[in-house]
Structure 1
Amino acid sequence: MIVDTHLHLINKSALTYPWLAGVPALDRDFLYATYEAEARRVGIEAALHMEVDVDPGEMELETSEIRQLAQRPGSLLQGAIAACRPEEEGFAAYLERQQADPLVKGFRRVLHVMPDELSEAALFRENIRRLGGSRFTFDLCVLPHQIPKAIALADLVPDLQFVLDHCGVPDIRSGAEHPWRDHMSEVAKRPNVVAKISGVIAYADENWTAQTLRPYVEHTIAAFGWDRVVWGSDWPVCTLGGNLSTWVAATHALIQGCSADERTKLLSANARRIWNLG
């Protein structure tokens, strides 16, 4: 069975997503019921919702919407990785409010579409330090050339669990492995960073196969080790390269030769440990 650590839900009647206008294929509703039907068929038994970069004024509303879904009987949703703005003065008060909410398991500030300097600002770093020693994780979504920025944050707060999204977002479409490969080996040296094997089919061209993905997935797992990798769908972004079932099938093909213990760690056990899921 699988724990999906990276599910996005899009409900345009409830929330505002400014970035969707630039991605026509995703600029529509992707609702929980649609995800649940397919997820249960492929063996997903629990999911964490990942913030969807809503309008900043709606960050807490997004968490409230997810809470309503998580409270439904039998819901797959077991937690939320909430949006945040560490570059703003209000972060400390925002963090204090989230600490009282057991649904919130961690935070993410999208960095791959922001200037590199954002994560280097004094206030941003001061606020990231506030997460040190807490129960929260912090997801890092960066492009390959930005991985050194992620390394700097991991070194800044060694007692914070960081999660590197999407195998470090490799440029699979062009077959590029550098500087991605070396940067992944370097960030993996930080024991407070785990890697998310999530949604990489979105970065390949339309004719991809499991073999296309293999160098990127295998290097990530080899660098981090089986105790520091988790699985995520990145639904619905993964639909840019197939669908949820296709990505699950590709994952099983990629780890076919692994032991049962290794598969369990990647697909569920590590996630349950890191986010303290039932």
Structure 2
Amino acid sequence: MFFDTHLHLIDMDRLEYPWLDEAPALRANASFEDYSRTARRVGITRTLHMEVDVAPAQQMAETEMVEELMAVPDSLICGAIASCRPENEGFPTYVENVLQRPAVRGLRRVLHVVPDGVSRQPLFRANINRLATTRLTFDMCFLARQLPIAAELADACPDVTFVLDHGGVPDIRGGDHANWARDLRALAKRPNVIAKLSGFIAYADPDRWTLNDLRPYVETVIDAFGFERLVWGSDSPVVTLGGSIETWVAATQALIADCSARERALLTHENAEKLWLAD
């Protein structure tokens, strides 16, 4: 059983995705129906929708779309991680509105598409600290070179639960394991950070990667955070840059085959259930 904590749905007929102009490989609708068909075949039983950096004015519209899909009979979607802009003065009001929507379990701001200084701003950090007394987690979407900045943010907001997307986006294709591993281990010392093992095949050479290319990166994340602070995600449809959901599920199963049943359960679903569904 897999709890997919990182599903993106793209509906270009309903919402605007400015960033897709620079990502032609992903510029296509990614429907809930197509995802559900595949997910049920590979053992995914629950999923959280991860915001897709829609046009800022449509942030709440994206959440409304997810709420509608959650209402579909036997829906796999059990919650949403909503988009936000903590650098803005209006963030507190936005959080108040979000908290009126039980579907929203956390927030995310994609931070590798803005200057490094954005998350270092006093207003940004003060706004993130507001989440400490709520049910909301905060997904950190940083590149490998930005992991020290992620550590700074976690230190500045010690009572907020952070989730590191994609294990800090290692450069598997380029083979830069050492620098990423050093900074990842430093970040893992912060007890308020959880790591997400999501979509690693998208960062490998799509034509050449093998299980052994992924292994040192997956094992480093597991060793740094331990099974008690790990969740799993597909990162669909971004995962298709390196294969498919089916391929990533199979690779994950192979890479954790020698782990105990308890360890596998923590990674694949139990930690996510406790973090986002245990009210």
TM bucket, shorter chain: over 0.9
Alignment of 1:103-122 (within 5 A): 103-122=103-122
- 1:49 corresponds in structure 2 to 49
Alignment of 1:207-226 (within 5 A): 207-226=208-227
Q: CA deviation at 1:108?
A: 0.3
Q: CA deviation at 1:56?
A: 0.4
Give the Cα separation in 1 of the matches to 2:140 and 2:23. Answer: 21
- 2:243 corresponds in structure 1 to 242
The DSSP-based 3-state class of the residue aligned with 2:39 is helix
Gaps of 5+ in 2: none
One-letter code aligned to 1:141:
C
The answer to whether the 8 Å contact 2:215/2:255 transfers is: yes
Larger deviation: 149-158 or 244-253? 149-158
Q: Deviations over 1:162-212 (max 9, x none)?
A: 000101100001100132111110110111100000001000002111111
One-letter code aligned to 2:11:
N
Alignment of 1:115-154 (within 5 A): 115-154=115-154
Give the Cα separation in 2 of the matches to 1:40 and 1:266. Answer: 19
- 1:254 corresponds in structure 2 to 255
Q: CA deviation at 1:233?
A: 0.2
Give the Cα separation in 2 of the matches to 1:179 and 1:83. Answer: 29
Q: CA deviation at 1:78?
A: 0.2
Alignment of 1:65-84 (within 5 A): 65-84=65-84
One-letter code aligned to 2:117:
E
Give the Cα separation in 1 of the matches to 2:25 and 2:153. Answer: 33
Larger deviation: 82-91 or 176-185? 176-185
One-letter code aligned to 2:116:
D
Hey, which bits of structure 1, 4+ residues long, moved more than 6 A?
none
Give the Cα separation in 2 of the matches to 1:69 and 1:277. Answer: 21
Give the Cα separation in 2 of the matches to 1:94 and 1:178. Answer: 39
TM-score of the superposed pair, with normalisation by structure 2 = 0.98
Q: CA deviation at 1:85?
A: 0.1
Q: Deviations over 1:29-85 (max 9, x none)?
A: 000000000000000000000000000000000000010000111000000000000
Q: CA deviation at 1:133?
A: 2.8
Identity %: 55
- 2:275 corresponds in structure 1 to 274
- 2:33 corresponds in structure 1 to 33
Alignment of 1:147-226 (within 5 A): 147-206=147-206, 207-226=208-227
One-letter code aligned to 2:263:
E
Give the Cα separation in 2 of the matches to 1:277 and 1:8. Answer: 23
Q: CA deviation at 1:120?
A: 0.8
The DSSP-based 3-state class of the residue aligned with 1:79 is strand
Tell me if 1:100 matches 2:100.
yes
Gaps of 5+ in 1: none
Q: CA deviation at 1:277?
A: 5.2
Give the Cα separation in 2 of the matches to 1:274 and 1:57. Answer: 29
- 2:265 corresponds in structure 1 to 264
The DSSP-based 3-state class of the residue aligned with 1:186 is helix
Give the Cα separation in 1 of the matches to 2:3 and 2:47. Answer: 6
The CA RMSD measured in Å over matched residues stands at: 0.9
Give the Cα separation in 2 of the matches to 1:50 and 1:96. Answer: 20
Aligned residues: 278
TM-score of the superposed pair, with normalisation by structure 1 = 0.98
Q: Deviations over 1:231-272 (max 9, x none)?
A: 000000000000000000000010010000000000000000
One-letter code aligned to 1:183:
D
